């Protein structure tokens, strides 16, 4: 018996559109983001996927994405678990800044290091490694046990918290995961075996 894990990055947010570092700030979805979330819900419904458990972060854009997906899937009266362990990476002093303005202030190379290195955090913020340090223990203690007994789990979260999960599940190196893009509103689906290891990646 294998479990099914569905990972979905939230739809486009207002700050994605404005090219701002978001992190733990709390903008909502754009009209495009709403459509992305609805399209994902429709796609899952078309494949007759009905999750047993639902997880999201403490941030509005991920919660709204999950709500819209559930609406399209026709799923009501359920328990949603929200936890800051699934929050986006905290960008610290970069939060709320336009990415181009940040490059002008600190330089293209330094901003690139903060954005694309595995273990170098921006001032006052988190690296991807730091994000993994809070996200992975939560996954291993709360979500993985459900998968190993054959449950289907839907997680609506963020680019970097999902990167941390993908890195562990697919056994990727820091270099490989940094290069991995996770698109808004596109589900990543895994089959997880009773031993907790990846059996296969599934495409819709």
Active site residue 142: no
Q: Confirm whether 113 is domain-assigned.
A: no
Distance, in Å, from the CA atom of 201 to the CA atom of 198, rounded to the nearest integer, reads 8
Q: Confirm whether 97 is domain-assigned.
A: no
What per-residue confidence (pLDDT) applies to 163? 96
The answer to whether 41 and 71 are in contact (CB under 8 A) is yes
Q: Give the global pTM.
A: 0.96
Q: Confirm whether 20 is domain-assigned.
A: no
Q: Confirm whether 58 is domain-assigned.
A: yes
Q: Confirm whether 74 is domain-assigned.
A: yes
What per-residue confidence (pLDDT) applies to 145? 98
Q: Confirm whether 41 is domain-assigned.
A: yes
Give the pLDDT of the chain (204 residues) as one tens digit per residue.
899 999 999 999 999 999 999 999 999 999 999 999 999 999 999 999 999 999 999 999 999 999 999 999 999 989 999 999 999 999 999 999 999 999 999 999 999 999 989 999 999 999 999 999 999 999 999 999 999 999 999 999 999 999 999 999 999 999 999 889 999 988 999 999 999 999 999 987
Task: Tell me the residue range of the domain where 80 lies.
Answer: 3-15+28-89+129-202
| 139 DSSP 8-state letter | I
Q: Confirm whether 103 is domain-assigned.
A: no
Q: Can you give the CATH number for the domain in which 164 is found?
A: 3.40.50.1240
10, 36, 64, 158: the catalytic one is 10
Element (H, E) at 40: helix 31-46
SS3 state at 160 = helix
The distance between the two most distant Cα atoms of the chain, rounded to a whole number of Å, is: 53
CA-based nearest residue to 184, from 50, 14, 4, 58? 14
What per-residue confidence (pLDDT) applies to 106? 96
Overall number of domains in the chain: 1
Q: Confirm whether 83 is domain-assigned.
A: yes
How many C-beta atoms surround the C-beta of residue 186 within 10 A? 16
64, 88, 126, 158: the catalytic one is 88
The answer to whether 55 and 86 are in contact (CB under 8 A) is yes
Active site residue 200: no
CA-based nearest residue to 40, from 15, 75, 66, 78? 66
């Amino acid at each position: 018996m294998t479990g099914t894990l569905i990972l979905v990055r939230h739809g486009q947010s207002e700050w994605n559109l404005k090219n701002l570092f978001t992190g733990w700030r709390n903008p909502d979805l754009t009209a495009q983001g709403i459509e992305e979330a609805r399209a994902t819900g429709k796609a899952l419904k078309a494949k007759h996927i009905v999750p047993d458990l639902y997880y999201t972060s403490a941030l509005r854009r991920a919660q709204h994405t999950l709500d819209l997906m559930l609406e399209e899937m026709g799923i009501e009266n359920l328990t949603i678990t929200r936890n800051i362990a699934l929050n986006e990476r905290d960008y610290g002093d970069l939060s709320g800044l336009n990415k181009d303005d940040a490059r002008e202030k600190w330089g293209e190379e330094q901003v690139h290091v903060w954005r694309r290195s595995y273990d170098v955090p921006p001032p006052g913020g988190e690296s991807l490694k730091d994000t993994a340090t809070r996200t992975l223990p939560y996954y291993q203690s709360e979500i993985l046990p459900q998968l190993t007994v054959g449950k289907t789990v839907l997680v609506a979260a963020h680019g970097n918290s999902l990167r941390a999960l993908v890195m562990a599940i697919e056994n990727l190196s820091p270099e490989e995961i940094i290069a991995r893009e996770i698109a808004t509103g596109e589900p990543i689906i895994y089959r997880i075996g009773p031993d907790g290891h990846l059996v296969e990646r599934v495409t819709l």
